Structure 1
Amino acid sequence: MADEMVRRAQQFINGTYDYGAKLGISRLVENGETSWTVMYALTRALQYELGITGLSDNFGPTTLSTLQSKYPRIGVAGTPQNIIRIIQSGLYCKGYDGGEIDGTFNERVQASVINLKKDMGVDFAYPGSDVVPKVFKGLLNMDPYITVNNGSDQIRAVQQWMNGEFVQRRDFFIVPCDGHHSRTVAKAMLFAVQYTIGMADGVANGNFGPGTQAGLKEHTLSVGSSGTWVQLFTAGMLLNQRPVSFASTFTASLADAVRSFQSFVKLPVTGLGDYSTWASLLVSFGDQTRKGAACDGVTKITPERAQTLKAEGITYVGRYLTNPVPGGGTVPEKEIQPGELQTIADHGLRCFPIYQTFGRGADDFSYPLGRAAGQAAINAALDHGFKSGTRIFFAVDFDAYDYEVTDNVLPHFKGIEDAIRDDGSRYGIGVYGPRNVCTRVSDAGHASASFVSDMSAGFSGNFGYPLPENWAYDQIVTKTVGSGSGAINIDVNIASGRDTGQGSFNQPRGVVPDASLDPDLVQAMMTDVGKYMESIGFPNDGGTRKWQHWKCFQTTVVDYDSDITLLAYRYNMRKALIQTSAYWEMRHVDVIDESADLAVITAYETTGKFKDTSTGICQIFGITAVRAWNHAVGKGYVTGSVIDPVNDDSLYSTWRKCRDDNQFALSVVPLIHLWNADGAPGSGNNETTLRPMRLDYTENEIYEVLRRYQGTNDEAKAHAKQRLALYQVMEKYNSIARNS
């Protein structure tokens, strides 16, 4: 909402500092809305007035020390008017009365500063109406000092108490008082603990290191304890959303709440404020010396390693369904290895499956990629022999900010959910990731249990968030256990019992060539393909495209199934690669494509010159078909004569066959895939060389083959992510056919 006085603050910046030029910024939009842009401008204006030459958005040590040196207490007299005007502008941006933005520190401004300090909780530390440097720093940011968005009054009391108690320590700065836990508040809590332990300025650093741990071990609390330590402990409980009161006395009711918390996080239930409980309240990984009943890792479980895990008290073992790196890369045993699940079962262990591609950034998460992940995980779980009812944990292995969870991760898990549902819900869905990701995915109804990546304590999605209510596994530390042939590096996980993995397995499905489609599967396959295409905006009736769904599916999957089966067998590739590229391209044919075809035909018939365009049901360029054919001849994939790639007649003849002969066009698709896998020589696209075509291509290799069929531009990359999900649906039914 626009505020006239905020607008005047923006006008002050623009008018005084040459529309931002003196501050190294663009002219502020005079819209009356508070934002970080305005706060950054005010910060730069302060630096300018202090004579700092290297202006920045950060109110950092240089700004603070210069302000302390020049104007340690800003009040009624002795301060340049523009600095007063910056204060007045900041007050309006915070929702306080700043007077007339005239450089006068009058009674209205003084009263607002007093109220600001009260809201911050520093009115006793900094009495009166003077603005001191740390208050100034707190003024020029977007932190609220009143409860917002249904904030907790109890948490606000904690925030105000910490500000008032510790603000005069060198490295403690005023935290928001909005009633919400956050990364900033969590860091402040660690500083507060360290100051209470007795650490000096410069030693206290906000990290949960050996000194902090040692200090906490000396301060176990019980019923009757009182003082600052109890205030810190109850603060920690409140910040972890436990139903207690912020207090300085350890009461019997607090002990009951502690027992409830300890039970929830699977600590010994003592009712004491002991070290392990302190650790779980302060950092996501908690007490890393704890023994866990679960683990996960990237190493094959051999009989010797299984014995090591049993000796460690481990029952549940997390292993990966796939390895996205061709050939396994530096972790060749990341994917479940042949015979491994039987070894796990034979030793009384249980396995919970994890599905992870690269997943290192928001761009790897979207609805289509979620559909692809869901179906790929189903196919892989069936390949390894996981029974119905198994919960698969899908990984979000990066520090997703809250907006990225909204924009990318939640749609991704909706895609996973849709894929699992369309498969008949034979597998459950779990989520692996930081606390905020797990909580939000679960609250949205997309996952029934969480595998929490709490080792990454610095993740913004962990720092300041409570352990999800539906946590199943809590990942706390990496270590090597056992020795000799039994040595194994694992991530230790605390287990809640919410998920117990699987202790027996079906016979694994082998890597075998594809077979002809079972006629009984065709209708279900067509329905699933249609559902997916509708979910990404392609109606079954064809919409603005030339062909309806049923026609494309019949032509590219059913009518030539025997040909596609033979081609896949001959070239050692999955049928789904051929089906996906052909079906996708046929679904996209429209009147523009037909007009382009007619233009090529007209040009050749009138001038004898060939003007290339993509054509036919598989939308193949004449030059692409020729290059793929010639490459296949040279590699020995096919026998025949090389076609002249610069002869118009030869090119046109090949192009016409791609346009007019569906069987021929489909036979060219696998040749294009082989050519692309070998780097698309002659195309000028500088493609890397993939492994020779094989039946166990990784998802990343499949993506590359599908992407290269269309090209190198952004559209090709975006479409390939969508086609990857289509591939997995096609592969689902091909896998049933070849394993029946």
Structure 2
Amino acid sequence: MADEMVRKAQQFINGAYGGKLGIERIPENGETGWNVMFALTRALQYELGITALSNSFGPTTLSTLQSKYPVLNGSTVPSQNFAKIIQSALYCKGYDGGDIDGTYNSRVQDSMILLKRNMGVDFAYPGSNLTPKVFKGLLNMDAYVTVNNGSSTIRSVQQWLNGSYVHRRDFFIIPCDGHHSRDVAKSMLFAVQYELGMADGTANGVFGPGTQSGLKSRTVATGDSNNFVKLFSAAMVLNQRPVSFASTFTSSLSSAVSSFQSFAKLPVTGKGDFPTWASLLVSYGDQSRRGEACDGVTLITPARAAALKAEGIKYVGRYLTNPDPTPSEDLKHKAIQPGELQTIASNGLRCYPIYQTFGRGADEFSYPQGRAAAQAAINAALDHGFKAGTRIFFAVDFDALDQDVTKNILPHFKGIQDAIADDGNRFKVGVYGPRNVCTRVAEAGHSTASFVSDMSSGFSGNFGYPLPADWAYDQIVTRWVGSGDGAIEIDNNIASGRDIGQNSFDPPRGPLPDTRLDSSVLTAMKTDVGKYMESIGFPNDGGFRSHTHETCFQTVVVEYDTVITQLAYRHKMRKALIQTSAYWEMRHLDAVDVSVDLEIIAEFNTTGNFRDSSTGICQIFGRTAVLAWNHAIRNGYAEGTIRDVTSDQDKYNIWRDCMDDEQFAISTVPLIHLWNADGAPGNTEEETPLRSMRLDYTESEIFEILRRYQGSADSEATPHAQKRMALYQIMEKYNSISRNV
């Protein structure tokens, strides 16, 4: 909602500093935000005589302000514009700034008193003067009152931290909004270091050796009353434990500590000992702990299994797939290897499966990609021999911000959940990622247990968030165990017992060639494909498109099953690659496509000029068909006559074949896949060659084949391929059932 005084602040910035701040004019919309705060920060730097302006209120700005104007008030404000910056900032923070008239008037003074009280620094900085650190806090978007159902107890902790340590050199005013956060967590580390006696310049907000050593001699227990107890109770509050924020260690606090220790699988002492301090202050906690679980990318041999067991390991996390077709030496065994599960079980260990492709950015997570991930994981789990009831942990391996979780991660896991449900809930869904990701996915009902990547302590989703309530594995440190042939590097994980993996497996399914679809799977396959297509906006009745789901499925999957089976066998590719491309394109046909075809035919018959376009049930361009067939003939993939790619007649003839002859069009699909795998030679935009076509293509290679069928990487082909991956995995599910009957 627009605020007229914020609008006046924006007008002041544009009028006084237009063209001087190194930024474009800010919108005069009456809405506060970072763009306004950044502009005010630059305006302050300009008034201070700083030439290298930036959005950051950093050390240069702070030190310059401290040296020139350590105290700002009605007598010391150097100019009207300087005062207007202060007044504008107050309005943008929700305080009264007067009339933005360039005076440090009584209304500004009253607001300054209130602002400092809300910050908790009113005793540190009494009166109505504006000091540099308060100015720094004024020029950001931090709130100093509870917002969004913030906790009043957490706010008390925040205010106490500000008031107690704001005079220390590297401590800056933190928000007092009632929510734990990265800044609050770091301020706690500074506070602990200050209480340990570290000097400015030594204290750094990092949980390093000095801090750990100091805390090992600072155990607090029932009856103690000091600032360490206050910090410990603050840490409990910030970790959402039901305690009071106080400086005395009561029996009630001891009881709550015992409960937390039991929850986090720490020694239950009821005291604020080092392992408990560590778990409250940083996500990974005490890294000297020995966990009962591990995960890794290394093959588990009998010698390594024995070493793990000797270390007290019970549960081993291994990856279902390796998305990299040409992995480095240290990642060549990232995926479970043949015979490995039996080795794990034979040595008294249990295995929990992890599914991860790359997952390094928000754009790799969406509803259709979640559907694809789930079905790929199901197929891989069955290939390896995991039985029904196994929980698969799906990875989110990047620093997902809260908005990423809302926009990308939650829809992705809804896709996973839906695909698992459509498969009959044979497998359970786990989430592997930072604390905030795990918590929010669980609260949305999309997972049943969490594998927490707490080792990534710098992730914003770990810094300032409590251990998820449903945690099963807590990843805290990488270390080596064993020696000689048994030496292995693992991620050491604490186990809660919520998930215990599996120690009995079905025989693995090998990479057999495809066969004709077993008649018993057709009904379920049609239902699954239809459900998925409906979930991404393709109604089964076809909607405005030319063909219904029934027609496309019956044509591509049923009627041409024998043809596609023979083509897949001949070209050493999965049937699902052919089925997916053909079905997808047929589902997209509409009246416009038919109209364009008729226009092209009429134009060619009239002028002899061929205007290329995609055609037929597989939507193939004439030029693409010529290039793919020529490549196939030259490489022995197919037999036929080489056509002239520069000839309109040759391109038109094959284009008509693709339009008029469904079998010819379907037979062309695998040749286009082979051509694309070899780098699309002769195309205007050639691609990087992949490995030669094979039955064990990785998911990244399959994605590339599906994407290249439609277009270049920077076109709409990429998001379409993300959707087609889920369709491919559904097709592959039923083909794998049929070939393993």
* Residue equivalent to 1:457: 457
Task: Report the CA distance between 1:99 and its aligned residue.
Answer: 1.7
* Residue equivalent to 1:733: 734
Write out aligned runs for 1:280-679 (5 A). 280-330=279-329, 331-679=331-679
With over 3 angstroms needed to count, the CA separation of the structure-2 counterparts of 1:33 and 1:610, relative to structure 1, is closer
Structure 2 residue 33 is the aligned partner of structure 1 residue 28? no
Q: For 1:459-505, what per-residue CA distance to the aligned partner results, in whole angstroms no more than 9, with x for missing partners?
A: 00000000000000000000111111100010000000000111100
Supply the AA of the counterpart residue of 1:271. G
Supply the AA of the counterpart residue of 1:726. L
Task: Report the CA distance between 1:11 and its aligned residue.
Answer: 2.0
Contact kept? 2:77, 2:104, Cα under 8 Å: no
Q: 1:307 and 1:199 mapped to 2: Cα distance?
A: 45
* Residue equivalent to 1:197: 196
* Residue equivalent to 1:249: 248
Contact kept? 2:321, 2:335, Cα under 8 Å: yes
Structure 2 residue 86 is the aligned partner of structure 1 residue 87? yes
Supply the AA of the counterpart residue of 1:717. T
Supply the AA of the counterpart residue of 2:729. Q
Contact kept? 2:373, 2:726, Cα under 8 Å: yes
Report SS of the residue matched to 1:295. Answer: strand
* Residue equivalent to 1:159: 158
Q: For 1:8-60, what per-residue CA distance to the aligned partner results, in whole angstroms no more than 9, with x for missing partners?
A: 22222122223xx1112222222222211111111111111111111111111
* Residue equivalent to 1:53: 51
Q: For 1:368-408, what per-residue CA distance to the aligned partner results, in whole angstroms no more than 9, with x for missing partners?
A: 11000010000000000000000000000000011111111
Report SS of the residue matched to 1:537. Answer: coil
Q: 2:344 and 2:44 mapped to 1: Cα distance?
A: 64
Q: Report which stretch shifted further, 488-497 or 644-653.
A: 644-653
Q: For 1:275-321, what per-residue CA distance to the aligned partner results, in whole angstroms no more than 9, with x for missing partners?
A: 00000000000000000000000011110000000011000000000
Q: 1:115 and 1:641 mapped to 2: Cα distance?
A: 86
Task: Report the CA distance between 1:621 and its aligned residue.
Answer: 1.2
Structure 2 residue 722 is the aligned partner of structure 1 residue 721? yes
Write out aligned runs for 1:192-271 (5 A). 192-271=191-270
Q: 1:337 and 1:714 mapped to 2: Cα distance?
A: 36
Q: 2:2 and 2:202 mapped to 1: Cα distance?
A: 45
Q: 1:686 and 1:466 mapped to 2: Cα distance?
A: 49
* Residue equivalent to 2:75: 77
What is the RMSD of the two structures over their aligned residues, measured on CA atoms?
Answer: 1.0
Q: 2:647 and 2:137 mapped to 1: Cα distance?
A: 73
Report SS of the residue matched to 1:687. Answer: coil
* Residue equivalent to 2:98: 99
Contact kept? 2:567, 2:670, Cα under 8 Å: yes
Supply the AA of the counterpart residue of 2:23. I
Task: Report the CA distance between 1:4 and its aligned residue.
Answer: 2.2
Q: For 1:427-480, what per-residue CA distance to the aligned partner results, in whole angstroms no more than 9, with x for missing partners?
A: 000000000000011100000100000000000000000000000000000011
Q: Report which stretch shifted further, 28-37 or 439-448.
A: 28-37
Contact kept? 2:321, 2:336, Cα under 8 Å: yes
Task: Report the CA distance between 1:732 and its aligned residue.
Answer: 0.5
Task: Report the CA distance between 1:88 and its aligned residue.
Answer: 1.5
Task: Report the CA distance between 1:366 and its aligned residue.
Answer: 0.6
Could you tell me the TM-score, scaled by structure 2's length? Answer: 0.98
Supply the AA of the counterpart residue of 1:147. T
Report SS of the residue matched to 1:393. Answer: strand
Task: Report the CA distance between 1:409 and its aligned residue.
Answer: 0.6
State how many pairs are aligned: 738
- Unaligned residue ranges in structure 1 (runs of 5+): none
Q: 2:161 and 2:543 mapped to 1: Cα distance?
A: 61
Task: Report the CA distance between 1:517 and its aligned residue.
Answer: 0.6
Q: 2:214 and 2:62 mapped to 1: Cα distance?
A: 31
* Residue equivalent to 1:700: 700
Supply the AA of the counterpart residue of 1:429. V
Q: 2:561 and 2:97 mapped to 1: Cα distance?
A: 77
* Residue equivalent to 1:108: 107
Task: Report the CA distance between 1:691 and its aligned residue.
Answer: 0.4
Task: Report the CA distance between 1:642 and its aligned residue.
Answer: 1.7
Supply the AA of the counterpart residue of 1:108. R
Q: For 1:537-560, what per-residue CA distance to the aligned partner results, in whole angstroms no more than 9, with x for missing partners?
A: 011111111111111111111101
Report SS of the residue matched to 1:642. Answer: coil
Q: 1:109 and 1:728 mapped to 2: Cα distance?
A: 63
Task: Report the CA distance between 1:127 and its aligned residue.
Answer: 1.3
Task: Report the CA distance between 1:115 and its aligned residue.
Answer: 1.3
Supply the AA of the counterpart residue of 2:193. Q
Task: Report the CA distance between 1:522 and its aligned residue.
Answer: 1.0
Q: For 1:118-177, what per-residue CA distance to the aligned partner results, in whole angstroms no more than 9, with x for missing partners?
A: 111111111111111111111111111111111111111111111111000000000111
Report SS of the residue matched to 1:493. Answer: strand
Structure 2 residue 254 is the aligned partner of structure 1 residue 272? no
Q: Report which stretch shifted further, 234-243 or 9-18.
A: 9-18
Report SS of the residue matched to 1:129. Answer: coil
Task: Report the CA distance between 1:591 and its aligned residue.
Answer: 1.4
Q: 2:125 and 2:648 mapped to 1: Cα distance?
A: 86
Q: 2:162 and 2:444 mapped to 1: Cα distance?
A: 35
Supply the AA of the counterpart residue of 2:135. F
Q: For 1:233-263, what per-residue CA distance to the aligned partner results, in whole angstroms no more than 9, with x for missing partners?
A: 0000000000111111111111101000000
Contact kept? 2:300, 2:340, Cα under 8 Å: yes
Q: For 1:634-653, what per-residue CA distance to the aligned partner results, in whole angstroms no more than 9, with x for missing partners?
A: 11112333222223332222
Q: 1:508 and 1:100 mapped to 2: Cα distance?
A: 76
Q: Report which stretch shifted further, 329-338 or 77-86.
A: 77-86
Q: Report which stretch shifted further, 74-83 or 486-495.
A: 74-83
Supply the AA of the counterpart residue of 2:417. E
Q: 1:626 and 1:639 mapped to 2: Cα distance?
A: 13
Q: 1:196 and 1:417 mapped to 2: Cα distance?
A: 48
Q: 1:179 and 1:644 mapped to 2: Cα distance?
A: 72
Task: Report the CA distance between 1:112 and its aligned residue.
Answer: 1.4
Supply the AA of the counterpart residue of 2:66. Q
Q: Percent identity at matched positions?
A: 72
Report SS of the residue matched to 2:317. Answer: strand
Report SS of the residue matched to 2:20. Answer: helix
Q: 1:28 and 1:650 mapped to 2: Cα distance?
A: 58
Structure 2 residue 216 is the aligned partner of structure 1 residue 188? no
Q: 1:519 and 1:209 mapped to 2: Cα distance?
A: 63
Report SS of the residue matched to 1:450. Answer: strand
* Residue equivalent to 1:41: 39
Q: 2:587 and 2:320 mapped to 1: Cα distance?
A: 32
Report SS of the residue matched to 1:249. Answer: coil
Q: 2:84 and 2:327 mapped to 1: Cα distance?
A: 62
* Residue equivalent to 1:172: 171
Q: 1:547 and 1:33 mapped to 2: Cα distance?
A: 49
Task: Report the CA distance between 1:226 and its aligned residue.
Answer: 1.2
* Residue equivalent to 1:122: 121
Report SS of the residue matched to 1:23. Answer: coil
Q: 1:601 and 1:329 mapped to 2: Cα distance?
A: 52
Q: For 1:701-733, what per-residue CA distance to the aligned partner results, in whole angstroms no more than 9, with x for missing partners?
A: 000001111111421111111111100000000
- Unaligned residue ranges in structure 2 (runs of 5+): none
Q: 2:221 and 2:36 mapped to 1: Cα distance?
A: 48
